[in-house]
A and B are shown apart, each in its own frame.
Chain A
């Protein structure tokens, strides 16, 4: 199985800051990576698919980049409602696999 490693379990930020979350795949997954936001008690929400494409209705402060094994998810100007868990996921091959998640929290 492909392992998706999010090296930071927590990231501290302030409102208005730019913050990036990284995700590393254990093997080449091309650009087959999605990013999700999950708030407590809610299902995950798709933000980015195919590494860099913003899903319908997702604000443009959220961006994704990368290919191969290294991927980055960036929030250009953090808003209070962005403080949440974020997960990467590969859909290059079965089984689909997720990263362990990164919690974005206030400094």
Chain B
């Protein structure tokens, strides 16, 4: 069974950075691109980008370039997303997900990031 287990909630100060993890299991980690999605409270979904775990290649939504950095550790089948220079606009739930058959078929449980002074 494919599972994506994300790290726990984060409470951060404005200007700080945070790194969220997504540990994959139940499949070959390098078989699927890992996507990341943002959902602000009560709002819709925004695609941040993806990383190819095989070679580390990335593609970002222009809106998140400079804000999000995606990396992987193949040895632990874990994907990471680093968010920098946090503001209140970055407060949201961030999820990792696998694109299979044209849809995001498997999702992590989401990580709540709260940015507050």
Contact = CB atoms under 8 A, between A and B. Distances in A.
Interface of A: 32, 34, 36, 43-46, 48-50, 53, 55, 87, 89, 91, 94-101
Contacts, number: 57
A45 B109 CA distance: 11
B46 A98 contact: yes
A92 to B, nearest CB: 9
Interface residues of B, number: 22
Contact of A91 (B46, B49, B95, B103): B103
A48 B101 CA distance: 10
B103 A48 contact: yes
Interface in B7-64: 35, 44-47, 49, 59, 61-63
Nearest to B98: A46
Contacts of B99: 91
Contacts of A43: 95, 97, 107-110
A87 B102 contact: no
Contacts of B45: 44, 87, 89, 98
Interface centre among B45, B97, B99, B107 (most CB of A within 10 A): B45
Contacts of B107: 43-45
Contact of B104 (A32, A36, A95): A36
Nearest to A34: B103
8 contacts: A34-B102, A44-B104, A46-B105, A50-B103, A53-B101, A87-B44, A91-B99, A96-B47
Contacts of A87: 44-45
Contacts of B47: 95-98
Interface centre among A36, A43, A53, A55 (most CB of B within 10 A): A43
Nearest to A85: B44
Given A43-B95, A43-B110, A95-B62, A101 B44 contact: yes
Interface in B79-117: 95, 97, 99, 101-105, 107-110
